[in-house]
Amino acid sequence: MPTLSELYGATSTTSSQYINDPNLKAEDSLTTEFSREKDLGNGLLRLTLFAEETKNSIYSQSTTVENGSILSRVTNVDRILTKGLELVYMGMDVATRGLDVSTSVTYANSIIIDNTGYVTTAGDTIGKWQPNIPQWRATALANYRVDEQWNVAAGARYSGPQYRTLNNADINGFTYQGVSEFFTTDLRVRYKMDKHWVASFGIDNLNNYQYWNFHPYPQRNYNFELKWVH
């Protein structure tokens, strides 16, 4: 559903005018999914096919109003079609006792099919990627229970290039207001000192990847935690 601001908010400056639309429609999605799972004994493998057709998605773009003027406003994108698949594996005691593994790979093709509005010129959003949807995503997490006291975990995340604009004009995501691809790794070590005290140390973005989502994300950082458990 559109928010109150999207329906009735209005701002203007000396050089531009931004008027929202009280006739905005609610987004309408039809989502389908088919999954197949296989038990591998010490793990589970799942393949999922998915599709989503979304009508009247709410975005900000240029449009022609009743008097012929062209304004930037929140409006509906007529139709966006998304298709893709996801492969997931989750296993316990993989390769050796105490090693748990979780991985996933997702492919999505999300394209604007119909749109009566536009960003710069009429029709310039047709066939473009839906904003904030990467073509590829992947995650991996390994957790090793060394013994009753020590636990070590390592993770990795990947996301492909994305766009923030409907006409995909922002081809450089590594900049202010952009959305970039990224590949980051994390590490965490946990030590149980006794039945009450637990200490842990972690490094986020271990490989110090410099990536953006409107603003730069944190680079390599360290954290330490000391916890008392009742």
Mean pLDDT of the chain: 91
Q: What is the pLDDT of residues 15-70, one digit of tens each?
A: 445 567 788 899 999 999 999 999 998 999 999 999 999 999 999 888 776 666 77
3-state percent breakdown (helix, strand, coil) of the chain, nearest 5: 0, 55, 40
Average pLDDT over residues 140-156: 95
- pTM recorded for the entire structure: 0.85
* Beta carbons of 133 and 164 less than 8 angstroms apart: no
- CA 106 to CA 114: how far, in whole Å? 25
From first CA to last CA, the distance across the chain in angstroms is 45
Tokens of 78: 């007529």
Residue 198 has pLDDT above 60, yes or no: yes
Structural domains in the chain plus CATH codes: 27-228 (2.40.170.20)
> What pLDDT was estimated at residue 15?
47
